[in-house]
A and B are shown apart, each in its own frame.
Chain A
């Protein structure tokens, strides 16, 4: 009974999460440009998508920025979380409160103020400035994901390791990191998710022909979002799913996946 309720609940939540995705995929096969009418099945958008250099370069920028910024933010953020955790109460409070500011600030404020800062620093707006901005708004989410795991950590574990002769770096790598790994992965996932989807901050911090998919999509909106974007999303979605299945299969075959 409990099993059934769990299954059913999981089903409902996933239905909720995937219903719009299914709609989105269906409309990538609509021969009408509008979401408002269904004019028949077509694969044209898929063909056109690959010929659209704007969209292809936006896809590249989006993925590059998302991968780089989430990895860098995860490294900096995890280190920061461990460091902050070891501060005294007052400092911890100050640093953590400051960390919340970017989460709390309206995107438009973060975007414009970062732009002014980047211009002030004489940085040419483009790929690098976009990357810096994404790392900046990703870090707090990593810290927020790692922090709870640190609180859960047995405080004496690290000291015990040192007493037994481990060097601080060794203890960090082999004792602490494995313990907080789920938090780190959560942080990485959230950072990647945020980065791939950001429009406002990206818009104000990029330039020189560098645009991510969000910028392309939002600026298309005035004229109507082209179903090529739906086609692209469908392909992205299916590739991730496909990758997931392969990785899963491989892990099934190997004796024991470590995580």
Chain B
């Protein structure tokens, strides 16, 4: 196909609005400025490898990975159910799936707090059932819940859009050849939906690593995550060099690790992170 040219507007856009800012970040991360001028330094990168920052990174990755996993486990069956509906129903349901996300994020998160608080709605229910109160809020579980809640559509929609166009005859053929339902899923449906799954994972995992409002509100601000760290550097400390270096390390780390992951994907057509 010779349709490369239609991506050129994007390429230009990308160079201006993505590449230039990235170069700016790169520049900040390796330079320092004094009254005499600007000099080169790797000090910011070195600083990141102190245990306290590695700890921050580790916790962010752990939380983001867990949330992505939960999103996938919850989202895949949902995407299958959506894809199995007839055309009219599924369009409506997909919209119903996204509409909650059109309400402001802060309001939704505050609403979660009303639900999960000590004297909150959920605990009142538990009280009615004669169960003792539980502390739902201010722990890692609450942070994961917040991330899953906010990013679930980003997992479900790409998987769903791939699932609806899988050739039904393939599934029937597999059934005719004696494959049982789990086998059909493992050997036919899942591999065919893989591009959607990968898109979903990317769209959930990446923003989850750098989010900082969710841990602050639902986690009670008890742990610094990588997003908080970057935000602090840019806003409170004014240390743009260190902030940029942390961002650059994040970018590299995730691109490389996903690149390695991608090497194991057999599908040669896979364009993307590898």
Contacts and interface: CB of A to CB of B under 8 A. Distances in A.
A115 B195 CA distance: 34
Q: Which of B9, B107, B114, B270 has the most CB of A within 10 A?
A: B107
A17 B111 contact: no
B2 A168 contact: yes
Q: Interface residues of A: mostly helix, strand, loop or mixed?
A: helix
Interface in A168-188: 168, 172, 179, 182-183, 185-186
Nearest to B10: A80
Contact of B9 (A80, A172, A183, A257): A80
Interface stretch (B37-45, B97-105, B172-180, B182-190): B97-105
A230 B101 contact: no
B77 A152 contact: no
A98 B16 CA distance: 12
A97 B273 contact: yes
A6 interface: yes
B9 A23 contact: no
B104 A103 contact: no
B255 A97 contact: yes
B161 A149 contact: yes
Nearest to A218: B106
A10 B80 CA distance: 11
Interface residues of A, number: 98
Contact of A101 (B3, B22, B98): B22
Interface of A: 6, 9-10, 13-14, 16-21, 23-24, 27, 35, 76-77, 79-87, 89, 92-93, 95-110, 112-114, 116-117, 132, 135-136, 139, 141, 143-145, 147-149, 151-152, 158-159, 168, 172, 179, 182-183, 185-186, 189-190, 192-193, 196-197, 199, 213-214, 217-218, 221, 225, 229-230, 233, 236-237, 240-241, 244, 248, 251-252, 257, 259
Interface of B: 1-11, 13-14, 16-22, 24-25, 74, 77-78, 81, 84, 87-88, 91-92, 94-115, 121, 149, 152-154, 157-158, 160-162, 164-166, 192, 195-196, 198-199, 202-203, 206-207, 209-210, 212, 226-227, 230-231, 234-235, 243-244, 247, 250-251, 254-255, 267, 269-274
